[in-house]
Amino acid sequence: MLSWNGSSAPAAANQTRINAIFAVVHDGRGGVGELDRWRFVVSARETGMYVNAGSLFKNAVEVCDGLTASAAIQARRDALVSIVLATISTEAFINELHNGAEAQSGAAAPGWINALGYMLGEAEKSRASIESKYQLARFILTGQPFDRGVSPFQDFALLISVRNLIVHAKPQDAKVRRDADGKLVWVEPNIMCRLQGSRVLGVSESLRNAASTLGADTIVSDMLAEISTHSVAQWACKAAAGL
């Protein structure tokens, strides 16, 4: 997360800084914690801090990978679990990054660690959005914020919107309608249109069959059921990993 697996110099510098934070928090002596392909699976020893973002993300991916073998109803449940866990892992990561930086802050610490700990702390006090926290962390670590209009931040922001809709919204209908070419497309709510525009979500075969059988130009379905798919779960995991 905060994508440091590329080959660019800023990415390498970011990884070094993040490793420094979690290594010191891990055992208090600068030992290097285990860093696997799922990100920051750092074991706690007698002293230090439990870091759970990697475990949450790993669970999201494992649930997603098992979807193809699941029955239809169970697959929807698993897809929803994967989507929510992937999003929670991004929240856990930025919070643990804050705690790790704060634990190392002090007169002897590099300025960027003090700045990271302090600014993320202030963001938490002011109840700043998770998107704002990632922008702050990115700026402190690299000197540049994320470009909001492109991936990975664009996908991340959309993922947070999906999560908020799942967790906070009231039950909501989702509507498809035939366009000028006779193709069924999502028209309501806006989040379905955004997922469609990002090529994350299409109109399911069951909805197309229903429209054909009924001869209908408009079909209404359960929004939560329609986003609980393998394709959306895969995208959620990639969006979380892409930061």
Q: What is the pTM of this model?
A: 0.76
Burial group, residue 171, by CB count within 10 angstroms (0-12, 13-18, 19+): exposed
Q: Whole-angstrom Cα distance, residue 228 to residue 166?
A: 10
- Do 110 and 203 lie in one domain? The reply is no
- Do 70 and 101 lie in one domain? The reply is yes
Domain span at 187: 171-226
Q: One-letter amino acid identity for 159?
A: L
| The pair of three-digit structure tokens given for residue 180, joined into one six-digit string | 């000028």
DSSP-based three-state secondary structure for 178: strand
Q: Whole-angstrom Cα distance, residue 27 to residue 55?
A: 19
**Around 66, how many Cα atoms within 13 Å sit in the side-chain half-sphere?**
14
In this structure, is residue 166 part of a structural domain? Answer: no
In this structure, is residue 21 part of a structural domain? Answer: yes
Digit-coded pLDDT (tens) for 168-208: 766 678 999 999 999 999 999 899 999 999 999 999 888 99
Tens of each residue's pLDDT in the chain, 243 residues: 433 233 333 445 455 555 544 443 333 333 323 333 223 333 333 335 667 788 888 888 888 888 776 668 788 889 999 999 999 999 999 999 998 888 888 888 888 889 999 999 999 999 999 999 999 999 998 899 999 999 999 999 999 999 988 887 666 789 999 999 999 999 998 999 999 999 999 998 889 999 899 988 999 998 888 999 999 999 999 999 988
- Do 101 and 190 lie in one domain? The reply is no
In this structure, is residue 96 part of a structural domain? Answer: yes
The runs of H, that is alpha helices, within 30-170 are 53-65, 72-104, 111-125, 130-142, 153-168
